[in-house]
A and B are shown apart, each in its own frame.
Chain A
């Protein structure tokens, strides 16, 4: 900037810039502080906007258009006219009809999902065929002009059918024109238990499959005129839902369909958004402290300017301009940092990161971050800027002037806008008023808790002063004298430590909940509906395939009729006031799968009562057969140990006495039941057997599935390996993602500490120099200062770690049904690292103050 240009600037701008340049000890930490808080926020906001763009484009592909209108029955022309008339001019529609049918090839026949579509079917997305690539308009036309089909690869494996072969669907034969390699239109799949076959809608009638009584899912895919805003789309969807008179017609926008498909990703992002709010809050705390230190040092100069005729409004403008400028610079740096960190996002989100999603810097996110950074900084610094109203010009001649003058009520009210902004941002991040408000409530409560905990701790350590060395005395006295600063630092570090520890603690419980006991085996395939007489044959078949049936569990279907000889019908009420009551009522009239087992499994533990031993025989031991009931199920039914329950098993009533209540680790993926009878009671009742099979490789699993289905068509085989692996991978990834965001929070915590150190030590320069003048050695003063930060770092991180253990215990009790496995190593590492970092931060922040020469004493603020 040239001198001439600079002279054209208003005075307040020149003053503001000069102050920032001359006070780099304030402006640089201020930028760093805000930058750390904003980076996480900006990173997630960029990701969120990218997801939004992605879902917009992707969700259209998932449904094949903008909107679907569907029904589980054929919609008549009258029905369709009704809603087609409501669509805006320029809209296009395509129909699809989906049904299940038996198809045959040679001697074999299979159940498939037939999807019949129009020749101009897709509005968006591309279906690809194996060895043929992306489908063209010509091929879609061919699907309707000729009797050809595209089939899923599963059908190739199941029927040994190839391209060029003839598949019989209904009354007609179709030539297989291609095997589907990638089908993007998965959202329109009604159910996925049979492989899909695609045919032209023109040929559906000729198959004879659509007749009176046929079950057909009928949909209209709507392509709306280009660039229709989301709001209009939602309004149209609502209008259709309200005005379509035909029963059971569902209307869904592509966005809703997309959200359904990517729910895990959206929830995780919202949750991480809230974690980023913690970092933003801490950045606000740090910013406020730094600014307080800065403005306090400027009071004398401001008083001079005021006495020279500067307006108070102009003086305020100087600092507001400074905050906006620093906010803009912090946003610029955080944008750069976020841009560098963006490639990490796919790593952080792992398996939930959708294929094809690209995350790129978004101008909207940067503008939003700037408004949050600058606006937030103004709000948190506003109460301090307001203090200029109370600054008398006479302060110039005053020995001391307190910036904190003003009543508590006014000071509290000054903070309200910042708190309100925090609440609104939290709601925006969580996409829920309830969740966002709850988060702010819990967060502020936690901050308050740490504040009170810190207060108590300071009082306790204050009583030990007399027993300490000079170094310790100085450290403790500094902590207790400047308790407001100490408590803010304590609460910020404790909060960061809580977050850092909580995630691994909870993860440990999740791991324990899912992890297998060495004695336990996790099955690969679950087999349902095995008949008792099939067990031997099935066993032989599996033996020939080098495996065996495991976890065989009989399932006896029964209806609960009496509890303590009182018919459950008498307990049922016609009117239920709450959902819980309705659920209880449903429980009472439901049928259950009972089972029997000689001993508890490795996934069960007795919660109360006595274990059941031996087989029941009339006249021995208990008068009634004994039962073991799952503890939460017992709670819902209002039964306890000693109560009796009578079940109707196909017309025969069986009564049992509850011997114990049992806790079940449902995530063990082993067969478990609410009610287990003592052996010898319902053994001969009609039952099916549920069992599991272990199969080490995918090839063996496929062979097993084919063989079982071939020989025992009534047995349903479900592959649970992929489900278990998916859950485990998801848990690991979510934990990693949250831990990643927590690091930012910890950084923000230390930035606060740095800000506080900076602020505090500026205040303490006179004391430090006085100590030096009085003969205290430099090492004594330095060690006392470092001890102070060691104490605060250690106590705060220990408090955070302890509370994290407590919270993880509460979460385990509520969510994981008592499975609590505290992690001892993480708290130790966190406390040690945090204490070390606190000392380092303290040392970095205090270097200048410690190095101050005694001569500065006369110039120090307290001596002015």
Chain B
């Protein structure tokens, strides 16, 4: 198998009729490319793609020269973080900000928090090494998983933010979680109204970062 993709993408970005249809050559380079690396909460499970929080972020930042990439995959766990970031590092549209919103599925599946921490840490280090400013989206697990597990789960995000000196969104679903009218009937995924609040949680952190470029 020939691993030519990196070279290929870079070469083909200026070619017409290319397999990897890239930004048109004439388009002005973006001031910021924000990568949203997450799971179904990022992908916008159960709502139209335009209602997902990365799309809403793009909409909010439309007056600024910013591009938002939605890299949300339903069911993804923190283990997928490093390999998925690797793909974006090879892209000609290399992000300069990464909002890392993984971990919820690790929690729901009762996976060891130490393993989750290691995976997220690896992703953060990889981003920092590539000159990307990581933002960690904090997550909580429903109380029925037990106080001990829920606490240790939440602590992972706080600790990682401290350890790597990175920005933390304290809780991505703050004001949305456990609110019946802001979630789909499954009680886990936000509905469009819920995403309107999620984006506020994100903007609180991202906007100052963009201003302080």
Query: Which positions in A face B, CB cutoff 8 Å?
Result: 72-73, 99-104, 109-111, 114, 169-171, 194, 207-216, 247-248, 529, 531-534, 557, 559, 589, 591, 598, 615-618, 623-625, 646, 649-656, 679-688, 713-714
**How distant is B55 from chain A, measured CB to nearest CB, in Å?**
12
Chain B residue numbers with a CB within 8 Å of A194 are: 110
Nearest neighbor of A652 in chain B, beta-carbon distance: B91
Chain A residue numbers with a CB within 8 Å of B5 are: 680-685
Contact check, B146 vs A650: say whether CB atoms are below 8 A apart.
no
**How distant is B183 from chain A, measured CB to nearest CB, in Å?**
10
Which residues of B (13-47) have their CB < 8 Å from a CB of A?
Answer: 15, 17-22, 35, 43
Chain B residue numbers with a CB within 8 Å of A615 are: 1-2, 4
Stretch of B70-78, B128-136, B155-163, B189-197 that contacts chain A: B70-78
Contact check, A102 vs B187: say whether CB atoms are below 8 A apart.
no
Cross-chain contact of A714 among B17, B19, B115 (Cβ < 8 A): B115
Chain A residue numbers with a CB within 8 Å of B86 are: 684, 686
Chain A residue numbers with a CB within 8 Å of B71 are: 650-651, 686
Cross-chain contact of A209 among B4, B70, B146 (Cβ < 8 A): B146
Cross-chain contact of B149 among A73, A99, A102, A598 (Cβ < 8 A): A102
**Bound-state Cα–Cα, A208 to B70, Å:** 37
Total chain B interface residues with beta-carbon distance under 8 A: 65
Which residues of B (66-93) have their CB < 8 Å from a CB of A?
Answer: 69-71, 73-75, 77-80, 82-88, 90-91, 93
**Bound-state Cα–Cα, A329 to B48, Å:** 68
Task: Supply 25 A–B pairs (Cβ within 8 Å), ascending by A.
Answer: A72-B187, A101-B144, A101-B145, A111-B110, A213-B140, A213-B142, A214-B144, A247-B180, A247-B185, A531-B79, A531-B80, A531-B83, A589-B48, A617-B2, A618-B11, A618-B12, A651-B70, A651-B93, A652-B20, A652-B91, A656-B19, A681-B5, A684-B86, A688-B80, A714-B77
Query: Which of B48, B112, B142, B178 has the most chain A CB within a 10 Å cutoff?
Result: B142
Contact check, A214 vs B142: say whether CB atoms are below 8 A apart.
yes
Contact check, A714 vs B1: say whether CB atoms are below 8 A apart.
no
**How distant is A251 from chain B, measured CB to nearest CB, in Å?**
16
**How distant is B113 from chain A, measured CB to nearest CB, in Å?**
10
Contact check, A532 vs B83: say whether CB atoms are below 8 A apart.
yes
Nearest neighbor of B33 in chain A, beta-carbon distance: A651
**How distant is A201 from chain B, measured CB to nearest CB, in Å?**
15
Whether B3 is near chain A, meaning CB under 8 Å from some CB there, is: yes
**Contacts A209-B143, A651-B71, A652-B93 supplied; 20 other A-B pairs, CB < 8 Å:** A100-B144, A100-B145, A210-B143, A211-B144, A213-B143, A531-B79, A559-B49, A591-B73, A617-B2, A618-B8, A650-B70, A650-B88, A651-B88, A652-B20, A654-B19, A679-B1, A680-B4, A684-B87, A688-B80, A714-B78
Beta-carbon contacts of B105-141 to A below 8 Å, as 1s and 0s? 0101111100100010000000000000000000010
**How distant is A194 from chain B, measured CB to nearest CB, in Å?**
8
**How distant is B81 from chain A, measured CB to nearest CB, in Å?**
9
**Bound-state Cα–Cα, A531 to B79, Å:** 7
Contact check, A686 vs B144: say whether CB atoms are below 8 A apart.
no
Given contacts A102-B145, A212-B178, A617-B4, contact A653 B115 (CB under 8 A): no
Nearest neighbor of B54 in chain A, beta-carbon distance: A651
**How distant is B75 from chain A, measured CB to nearest CB, in Å?**
8
Contact check, B149 vs A109: say whether CB atoms are below 8 A apart.
yes
**How distant is A559 from chain B, measured CB to nearest CB, in Å?**
8
Chain A residue numbers with a CB within 8 Å of B87 are: 649-650, 652, 684-686
